[in-house]
Amino acid sequence: MIKRIGVLTSGGDSSGMNAAIRGVVRGAIYNGLKVFGIYQGFEGLIKGDVRELSSRDVGGIINHGGTILFTARSKLFLTKEGRKKAFENYRKHNLDALIVIGGNGSLRGLREFMDETGIIGIGLPGTIDNDLFGTDYTIGFDTAINVAVEAIDKIRDTATSHERLFLVEVMGRKAGFIAIFSALAGGAEDILIPETTTDIKKLCDKLEQGKLKGKKSSIVVVAEGETVGNVVTIAKEIKKNTDWDVRVSILGHMQRGGIPTAMERINASRLGVAAVEALLDGKKGVMVGIVNDIISFTSLTDAVTKVKPLNSHYLKVAEILASV
């Protein structure tokens, strides 16, 4: 019987993690359970930094970015010795289950920890990249694209004033979801992402055609994992092969921060409560997600090994809107 739940955030931070923590804590207390916050991710479990959380401990955090439990990437947890120590502390605090909020690496760690120790675990998708299979939405994604769009809007002002082309680099080493959504919302002329092959010549021709049609400025959104080269290299190629005055803007880690959007808070809260209810229903070894606005469950193995497909419809719409 589940009576004591541990919760931690791991890997990269993302806005909405606090709302998810709040959902877990209050969902657990509502169901008569005790919940324990584990600070600094798996590293905190190894060190034994575990404290009981009350409803008041998570009051006033829903509108804060980052995570009150802090987060870390634990090299020690990658070793059997580290996981053994983590399990000892798990047992020391009489935990019955563990909820991990994090991305691909964090949920892989949870799956391995479960396989070795037999503990009960549930994963929540916490990553701005939105790249986990089995959910339409990951915690942090909506805020990240809104931060990126706000930056693109500001960059467009100066691009228009100086009649320039700006290449805006957004996060996404292996997935282009942030790039696609922010480019579409920001009215970009093109999107360069890891999942598709970029033809620099065609890109330059397209940008030149836009100029001939009377475009006074252009924005190209580039995912950091774009395979043709880094954004500075791409900018040099465009400058060499077009008449555009080219500038580069790298948004970086600002995309991880910021006040969570309303949708972020709502969905993260739903996921937090759903994780507790899943444990009470006897589920384990799954990631709780949202598919077609309905809570869904995907095995941790599928969540971290299967590739989440892109919806090519977004790319098509962006192409149509930028072509005329």
Q: Catalytic residues, which ones?
A: 129
Considering Cα of 256, then 194, then 106, then 73, what sign does the dihedral take?
Answer: negative
CA distance 33 to 25: 9
CA distance 11 to 19: 17
- Percent of the chain that is helix, strand, coil (3-state, to 5): 45, 20, 35
Q: Which residue, among 44, 47, 114, 46, has the nearest Cα to 72 in the 3D structure?
A: 44
The residues near 311 (Cβ < 8 Å, ≥ 6 apart) are none
Q: Which residue, among 121, 118, 179, has the nearest Cα to 152 in the 3D structure?
A: 179
